[in-house]
Homo-oligomer: A and B are copies of this chain.
Amino acid sequence: MKKPEKVHDQTSCMAALNAMSDSFYVIGGKWKLRIIISLKNGNKRFNEIQRSIPGLSAKVLSGELKDLEANGLIKRMVYTETPVVVEYLLTSYSDTLEPVLNSLVEWGENHREKIRSGEI
């Protein structure tokens, strides 16, 4: 005899869990959201982005930009003037991250205050 079923069935629960993991896979890690925010702040060029995020190396930035592009969050534009100019732009799809970004920032702020006030 198994324990009684919860209000949600197992299939939908697993789906939610997997969805959550997907989110972490796409925007998790130390730099991804920072890069997106840097782009939001108007930075477009590779070195510009790198300089705006202290501690971020060219190697890691290069990899992260590829990941973000593969997931449709940014677009890499190459302008073939001389000298060649490369720009990274947020796609409109990246706007869908707003609620995630906001909830993370809000919770973090609240939590920081909670810790600071000694409530925990």
Residues of A that sit less than 8 Å from B by CB: 3, 6, 13, 15-24, 26, 28, 33-34, 37, 41-42, 70-72, 93, 96-97, 99-112, 114-115, 119-120
**Chain B residue with Cβ nearest A38:** B17
**Chain B residue with Cβ nearest A91:** B120
**Chain B residue with Cβ nearest A41:** B6
User: Knowing that A20-B105, A28-B28 are A-B contacts, what are 20 other residue pairs whose CB atoms are under 8 Å apart, sorted by A's residue number?
Assistant: A6-B41, A19-B104, A19-B108, A19-B109, A19-B112, A20-B34, A20-B101, A22-B108, A22-B112, A23-B104, A23-B105, A24-B28, A26-B108, A71-B111, A71-B115, A71-B120, A72-B120, A93-B114, A96-B107, A100-B103
Residues of B within 8 A of A104 (CB): 19-20, 23-24, 100
Residues of B within 8 A of A18 (CB): 108, 112
Q: Is the CB of A20 within 8 A of B41?
A: no
Q: Which of A24, A26, A104, A110: most chain B Cβ within 10 A?
A: A104
